[in-house]
Amino acid sequence: MTKIIGLTGGIGSGKTTIANYFEEKGVPVYIADNEAKKLMQSKLIIEEIKSVFGETVFESEVLNRAKLAEIVFGNSDKLNQLNSIIHPAVKKDFEAWLQKNKNYDYVIYEAAILFESGRYKDCDIVITVTAPEEVRIERVIKRDKTTKEQVLNRMKMQWKDEERIVKSNYVINNDNLKNAKEEVVKILKILNIKQNQS
C-alpha cells in the first residue's frame, strides 16, 4: 500500500521547491495548487464558480484568478465557498493520480492548506516546511509581484507555523536551501526511501 506524505507550509515557505527536490530524489509528487489551477479551467468547475461568484470574476469567459483571489483572501466565508467547489475535484483527481503511482512505497501530496482543509487526515506522514516570516513575505512579493498587505492577508487565512508543527512528523526549516535539502535527504533515509543520486 502506497503511503502518502503530506507536505505543507505557509505561503512563501518554499514548500514547492522542497517538493521538487523530493521529486528529483525519486518520490512522485502531486502539487495540489497546480492541479487545482488546471481543474479550475474545466467547464463543470467554471459553471460552479459562476453560480457562486457571478460573472464579475470572468473576463470574456476566462476566469480572472487575481480578481477571485482578491475576493476570497479578504473573506473567509467566500474562501470556504471556493474551497467547497475545488477540494472535492482535487481529491478525486489525486485519487486517480495515486492509482497511477501505486507501485511506489511513498508519494508526496503537497498542499498549502493541508491542515485547514482536513486533508492531513488522509496522510500517513506530514512534513511542514518553515521559514522566517520576513523571508516568506519577501519571497511572495517577488514571486507574485504583489504587496506586503496582500501577502499578510493571505497569511491570516492560513494556520501559523506553530499550529502546523504540533501536528507534523517532520519539520524542514527552509531559510537556507542547502540545509533544507540536507533535511530532505535525512528524512528519506529515516523512511528508508531509495534515492536517485544527483
Give pLDDT tens digits for 49-72.
999 999 999 998 889 988 998 899
Q: Domain 3-190 has what CATH class?
A: alpha beta
Task: Please state the φ and ψ torsions of residue 82, each to the nearest 5 degrees.
Answer: -65, -45
186 marked as binding residue:
no
- Is residue 160 annotated as involved in ligand binding? no
Model pLDDT for residues 92-124, shown as the tens digit of each residue: 999 999 999 999 999 999 999 999 889 999 999
pLDDT of residue 198: 54
User: Buried b vs exposed e over 17-55: b needs ≥16 C-beta within 10 Å?
Assistant: ebbebbeebebbbbbbeebbeebbeeeebbebbeeebee
Average pLDDT over residues 21-43: 95
Residue 163 banded pLDDT, cuts 50, 70, 90: very high
User: Is 16 annotated as belonging to a binding site?
Assistant: yes
pLDDT (average), residues 63-83: 89
- The model carries a pTM of 0.91
Domain residue ranges of the chain, discontinuous segments joined by +: 3-190
Residue 118 assigned to a binding site? no
Task: Determine whether the annotation assigns residue 13 to a binding site.
Answer: yes
Residue 8 is assigned to a ligand binding site = no
Give the chain's mean pLDDT. Answer: 94
